[in-house]
Amino acid sequence: MPTISQEYKTALRSVSVDLNNDVSLLIDIPDALCERDKVKFTVHTKTTLSVFQKPEFSVPRQHEDFIWLHDTLVETEEYAGLIIPPAPPKPDFESPREKMHKLGEGEATMTKEEYTKMKQELEAEYLAVFKKTVQVHEVFLQRLSSHPVLSKDRNFQIFLEYDQDLSVRRKMPRRCLVVSSRTWLKSADEVLISGVKEVDDFFEQEKTFLLDYSTKIKDSTTKAERMTRAHKNVADDYIHVAAILNSISAEENTALKKHLDKFSDMFEKLRKVEGRVASDQELKLTELLRYYTRDIQAAKDLLYRRARALDKARLKSKDVAQAEDNQRQCMQKFEKLSESGKKELTSFKGRRVVAFRKNLVEMAELEIKHAKNSVSLLQGCIETLKNC
């Protein structure tokens, strides 16, 4: 499925359009292997930087390694004022697997051809999910590599270069706990940032905007997911309709046979188009929304860290004059953080607008292309039907 992978690539690249074309550090994931729930990614790096021992190398990494990298970045104090690129979501093959299972159960009720087609659809879907997973991980690394500060991170470099298994995976059970406490903390934090009085207008605005935007985009994402799924269902129904029409026409021997043949054929063609419409919507729209849901969460995290720093600074200042030095340091830290945060947030906004523009334009173009395709198919079919 080279076409699909191509599309996913462009789609996801477009999500993070601000990736600069700095050739000093190029990262991609040329290969990945799926073993049950584990996906093994091969992370390939090409670099001219002297920090690295070799100009080109590959290491095996798993999803958990990416999470570890993300978490360490988040926990690094110097980066508090940066938007840490959102961690890639956990690979999820449940939905296509479940569907495959269901399909197997329903095999008896379908014609062979129908079953084969459904299976192909599911395999394509599975493959798409797989490729998307790879791409999301790749994008995460690429965003890091193109970030002026984060690309210099030591842990990041280790992640790229260390050719053994990172030991982080052993900590995984504990990480689950951490995650849950973190999420709990986060929701508490949200209360915090929404409750703290903001002195800086910029951040005040950003805060309200992000909070609002985040809920809205989350909502839109789920709705878009549902919509694309429904569209996919319609496309799948076309398969069944085409198959049954086909078997009916096989038994017909009147003039109707030709018509049914054509009709079945039409459904078969339309289902491909509809399938593409559904998957393009998924790529251009749903995936975009999904990515920015996560990205906005990252931006919110930045605000949260800033709020905490501010809190700390204020706390310290209450703590009497004896720690004035300390307080000044904190204040400085906070100001630095605010400054870089401002920059980050502004660039985030620009990045988001550009990404939306690109994706919406592409989606509109694809929709037009598909609809035109359907129109010409339908016109041709109607023409032949009328003439026979």
Partner 1 sequence: MDALSSGCTVKMGEGQNPLEAMADSTFSASDVLSDLPNDLLGEPPSAVFGDPLSNISKQESTSNPAKQSSKLPSDVPCDIFDPLHGTGMEPKDDGKNASLIDIVINPVTSAKDNLPVDDLLSQPEIDIPAKTKTEQPAELRSEERPKDEPLSVASSKPKKDLFEDSPEDLFSELPKTKAKTKPQMDLFGDSSPDLFMDAKAAADTGPGRNAPADLFSEESVATTTSKSAKSNISANSIVTANSKANGVHSDEEEQDIFAEATVELSLDSPHNNRKTLDTTKPSEPASSLSAAAGSSKAQAKTLEELEEEESEDKFELNISITNPEKVGDGMNAYMAYKVSTQTTLPMFRSKTFTVRRRFSDFLGLYEKLSEKHSQNGYIVPPPPEKSLLGMTKVKVGKDDPSSGEFVERRRASLERYLQRVVCHPSLLQDPDVREFLEREELPRAVNTQALSGAGFLKMINKATDAVSKMTIKMNESDVWFEEKLQEVESEDQQLRKLHAVVDSLVSHRKELSVNTAVFAKSVAMLGSSEDNTALSRALSQLAELEDKIEQLHQEQAGNDFFVFTELLADYIRLLGAVRGSFDQRMKSWQRWQDAQTTLQKKREAEAKLLWANKPDKLQQAKDEIAEWEGKVTQYEREFERVSATVRKEVIRFEKEKARDFKKQIIKYLESLLQSQQQLIKYWEAFLPEAKAIA
Confirm or reject binding of residue 357 to partner 1 (CB under 8 A): yes
Q: Which is nearer to partner 1, 230 or 323 (CB)?
A: 230
Complex with partner 1: residue 154 or 223, whichever CB lies closer: 223
Shortest distance, CB of residue 193 to partner 1, whole angstroms?
A: 17
Answer yes or no whether residue 124 interacts with partner 1 by CB under 8 A: no
Residue range at the interface with partner 1 (CB under 8 A); choices 20-28, 189-197, 221-229, 322-330: 221-229
Query: Which of helix, strand or coil describes residue 57?
Result: strand
Site for partner 1 in 310-329 (CB under 8 A): none
Give me the phi and psi of 35, to 5 degrees please.
-120, 110
Q: Per rule CB under 8 A, is residue 107 in the interface with partner 1?
A: no
In the chain, alpha helices (H): 2-15, 63-75, 94-105, 112-146, 154-161, 172-195, 201-251, 256-281, 287-318, 324-387
Q: Is 17 in the site for partner 1 (CB under 8 A)?
A: no
d(CA 142, CA 20): 9
- Residue holding tokens 């951490």? 178
Site for partner 1 contains 245 (CB under 8 A):
yes
Using the rule CB under 8 A, is 103 a contact of partner 1?
A: no
Closest contact distance (angstroms) between CB of 355 and partner 1 is 10
Helix, coil or strand: residue 103: helix
Q: What secondary structure letter does DSSP report for 334?
A: H
Site stretch for partner 1 (CB under 8 A), options 43-51, 180-188, 230-238, 331-339: 230-238
What order do you get walking across the sheet with 38-47 strand by strand?
Answer: 25-35, 38-47, 56-62
CA-CA distance, 312 to 385, in Å (whole number)?
Answer: 77
Window 187-216: residues binding partner 1 (CB under 8 A): 209, 212-213, 216
The stretch near partner 1 (CB under 8 A) out of 27-35, 183-191, 316-324, 371-379 is 371-379
Taking the least distance from each CB to partner 1, the nearer of 307 and 366 is 366
Kindly state whether residue 78 participates in binding partner 1, applying the rule CB under 8 A: no
Among 22, 92, 319, 365, binds partner 1 (CB under 8 A): 365
Q: Would you give the end-to-end CA distance of the chain in angstroms?
A: 37
| Among the listed residues 69, 42, 60, the one whose alpha carbon sits nearest the alpha carbon of residue 145 | 69
Q: Count residues contacting partner 1 (CB under 8 A)?
A: 56
Rounded least distance, CB 253 to partner 1, Å: 8
Sign of the four-CA dihedral 165, 167, 169, 175: negative
Measured CA to CA, the distance from residue 60 to residue 43 in angstroms comes to: 6
Identify the sign of the CA torsion 64, 66, 72, 74: negative
Q: How far is the CB of 28 from partner 1 (least distance, A)?
A: 29
Q: Quick one: which of 4, 227, 272, 338 contacts partner 1 (CB under 8 A)?
A: 227
- Other Cβ atoms within 10 Å of 126 Cβ, number: 17
Nearer to partner 1, 6 or 247 (CB): 247
Q: Which of residues 250-309 bind partner 1 (CB under 8 A)?
A: 251, 254-256, 259-260, 262-263, 266, 270
Residue whose tokens read 């030709």 = 258
With beta carbons less than 8 A apart as the criterion, state whether 82 and 340 touch.
yes
Rounded CA separation 171/192 (Å): 30
Q: Which spans of this chain sit near partner 1 (rule: CB under 8 A)?
A: 209, 212-213, 216-217, 219-220, 223-224, 226-227, 229-231, 233-234, 237-238, 240-241, 244-245, 247-248, 251, 254-256, 259-260, 262-263, 266, 270, 349, 352-353, 356-357, 360-361, 363-365, 367-368, 371-372, 374-375, 378-379, 381-382, 385-386
